[in-house]
Amino acid sequence: MSKSFVVDASIGLAWVHPSQATPQADSLLAAIEAGAKVVVPAIWFTETANALLVLERRKKLTGSERKKALSRLGALAVSMDDECRLAFTTVSELAAEHGLSVYDASYLELAVRRQLPLASRDGPLREAVERCRLPLF
């Protein structure tokens, strides 16, 4: 497994919510615990926190479970890429080219720019990663 990789919010959720868990997400978490580095765009933190709040509002988890999940995610050694201005250029172009939201394209752009594998449960994003000939978890 790569020593560094990009993950999207769907993987963050899989790490903390049992209904979202997958063997793939579990292996990525094990890799982090073994020293692999996770790199995410700045949007990852907001998107993941919002998804947990939506799950709470839909009664899929309690407020206490949401707070525990946020704490667990906050304790992970996640490195934030701060090239946010690329949303106005490269990220927007990738979104248009691959039919993605700008949010999803931010993960793709980071993986492309750093030539890192990307882990996602999102079908269209996974397809775009394959079209860009990047490694996919």
| 77/88 same-domain check | no
| 45/95 same-domain check | no
Phi first, then psi: what are they for 3, rounded to 5°?
A: -80, -15
| 111/61 same-domain check | no
Q: Per residue in 85-111, pLDDT tens? A: 999 999 999 999 999 999 999 999 999
Angle at 113 between CA 111 and CA 8, to 5 degrees: 25
DSSP per position, 39-96: EEETHHHHHHHHHHHHHHHTTSS-HHHHHHHHHHHHHS-EEEE--GGGGGTHHHHHHH
Domain encompassing residue 103: 83-137
Residue 137 has pLDDT above 90, yes or no: no
| 45/57 same-domain check | yes
| 76/110 same-domain check | no
CB atoms within 10 A of CB 129: 24
In whole angstroms, how far apart are CA 11 and each of 15, 28, 86, 93, 97? 6, 9, 23, 24, 24
Give 34's DSSP letter.
T
The pTM of this model reads 0.92
How many domains in the chain?
A: 2
For the segment 49-75, the average pLDDT, to the nearest whole number, is 97
Is 1 a domain residue?
no
Domain finish residue from 82, 98, 126: 82
| 71/100 same-domain check | no
Is 59 a domain residue?
yes
| 55/99 same-domain check | no
Selected residue with higher pLDDT from 80 and 1: 80
| 119/55 same-domain check | no
Is 124 a domain residue?
yes
| 34/94 same-domain check | no
Euclidean distance between CA atoms 99 and 128, whole angstroms: 9
- The dihedral built from the CA positions of residue 106, 50, 6 and 11, taken in this order, carries a sign that is negative
| 72/14 same-domain check | yes
Is 3 a domain residue?
no
Is 90 a domain residue?
yes
| 75/101 same-domain check | no
Q: Per residue in 2-51, pLDDT tens? A: 689 999 999 999 999 988 999 999 999 999 989 999 999 999 999 999 99
Residue 78 binned pLDDT confidence (cut-offs 50, 70, 90) = very high
Residue 1 has pLDDT above 60, yes or no: no
